[in-house]
Amino acid sequence: MGRAICAKFVANGYFVVAGDANAEALQDTTTALNKIGENALARPGDLRSKAYCEDLIDTAINLTGRLDALVNNSGIITRGTILETSDEDWERTFDINLTAIFYTCRRAVRFMKENGGGSIVNISSTWGVYPGPSHAAYCASKAAVATFFKMSWARPCGRRHQGQCCLPRGDRYSHASVRLCTSRFRSRHGGGRTQ
């Protein structure tokens, strides 16, 4: 899903700073996106690191001077009932699925609020609203993503910001619209945006 999101933004004139733990897959994605120009930058790293999460945002801003959009699409699916879920499974799932979103959103909102607004999309899951069996940590973390979005968005961001929380269901979305950092940079036709 992340590669398709990146491609859509690039097709619409955005410069994409993309993050992923899988450095090889991330490089493949950005190489493909850069075939027709300098459209994307790969920033591999560990989303459990606050410094890495904040660096994704800072890199987009430093490269372009803008941050038009943030898409939090990363996540891991941890299987297991409550009795089968270790402390490490629980902590890793919440660190990647929720805490990383908190770090990137907080950094992005601070910049967006002072610089004319922007859009943030956090990808949750229908299992965060309608939990499936034997996925205690995953379902709880995705429910927390949906609640985090509802609780944290409107007041600090104001009217010039857009935010959405998506609940993917197979190949469809059941709630709103699209971990990428973006900013207005340039398009192939002169102006452009960065993501």
Domain range list for the chain:
2-194
Residue type, 191: G
Answer yes or no: is pLDDT of 192 > 80.
no
- Whether 65 has a pLDDT exceeding 50, the answer reads yes
Using alpha carbons, select from 119, 115, 136, 116 the residue that is nearest to residue 127. 136
For 2-194, CATH gives: 3.40.50.720
pLDDT at 4: 92
User: Which two three-digit tokens encode residue 142?
Assistant: 């995705």
Phi, psi (deg, nearest 5) at residue 12: -100, 15
Mean pLDDT lowest among 61-70, 73-82, 167-176: 167-176
pLDDT for 180 beyond 60? no
More confident residue, 24 or 168: 24
Q: Which residues neighbour 160 within 8 Å (Cβ) at sequence distance 6 or greater? A: 116, 117
Q: Give pTM, 2 decimals.
A: 0.81
Residues 6 or more apart in contact with residue 52 via CB below 8 angstroms: 19, 45, 46
Residue 153: DSSP 8-state: S
138 in catalytic set: yes
Q: How many CB atoms lie within 10 A of CB 186?
A: 17
Position 81 scores a pLDDT of 97
Between 182 and 164, the more confident residue is 164
- How confident is the model over 50-78, as a mean pLDDT? 95
Q: Which entry of 14, 103, 138, 173 is annotated as an active-site residue?
A: 138
DSSP letter assigned to residue 126: G
